Amino acid sequence: MKILVAVDGSKSSLHAVKYAAKLSANMRSSDVITLITVHDDQGLRLAKRFVGKAEVGDYLREISEKELKLSLSVLIKAGIQHNTIIQTGHVAETIAKVANKGFDLVVMGAKGRGGIFDVLIGSVAQRVLSTCKKPVLLVK
């Protein structure tokens, strides 16, 4: 079973990684777990004009690598093979698009770093649930 785990550096996403690792171990799966982190770069369009597109990309990649660090250590400790995907774009749409292209299951935390924005525009988890054609498992 090919599992895609969405990671945003929150406690909920770390719980999702731990759950996916346990699920994979219980199924005795030899498949690789793929961690994905996505940052919406639309708010940085102005910064790209002044600082440069490459610098903004490096900044977002650096943030993504920090967010992935704990999750990667969980998978390494569990002895589970893994891949990582670092993307920019609309977060929920990107996760769903990647998931629909070859994964069997999406695992993600039910509460990430959204806060008040969840109330205004809806959570990433809700949007992934509504747009993804693959099963989505939400972990608290």
Mean pLDDT of 31-43: 86
Write down the residue that tokens 């400790």 correspond to. 77
- Token pair, residue 5, equals 């785990």
- Token pair, residue 1, equals 């079973």
Sequence ranges of the domains in the chain: 10-139
CB-count burial class (<10 Å; 0-12, 13-18, 19+) for 62: exposed
Mean pLDDT of 21-26: 91
Q: What is the pLDDT of residues 42-92, one digit of tens each?
A: 766 656 566 766 777 788 889 899 999 999 999 999 999 999 999 988 999
Write down the residue that tokens 């079973």 correspond to. 1
DSSP designation for 32: P
What backbone phi and psi angles, to 5 degrees, belong to 138? -100, 130
Residue 74 and residue 132: Cα distance in Å, rounded?
A: 26
* Residues 6+ away with beta carbon under 8 Å from 99: 4, 106, 128, 132, 133, 134, 136
Residue 96 and residue 93: Cα distance in Å, rounded?
A: 5
When comparing pLDDT for 121 and 85, which is higher?
Answer: 85
Residue 47 and residue 42: Cα distance in Å, rounded?
A: 10
Tell me which residue of 49, 56, 44, 2 sits closest to 24, measured CA to CA.
2
What pLDDT sits at residue 121? Answer: 45
**CATH superfamily for domain 10-139:** HUPs (3.40.50.620)
What pLDDT sits at residue 28? Answer: 80
DSSP designation for 102: T
pTM, two decimals, is: 0.86
Mean pLDDT of 100-129: 76
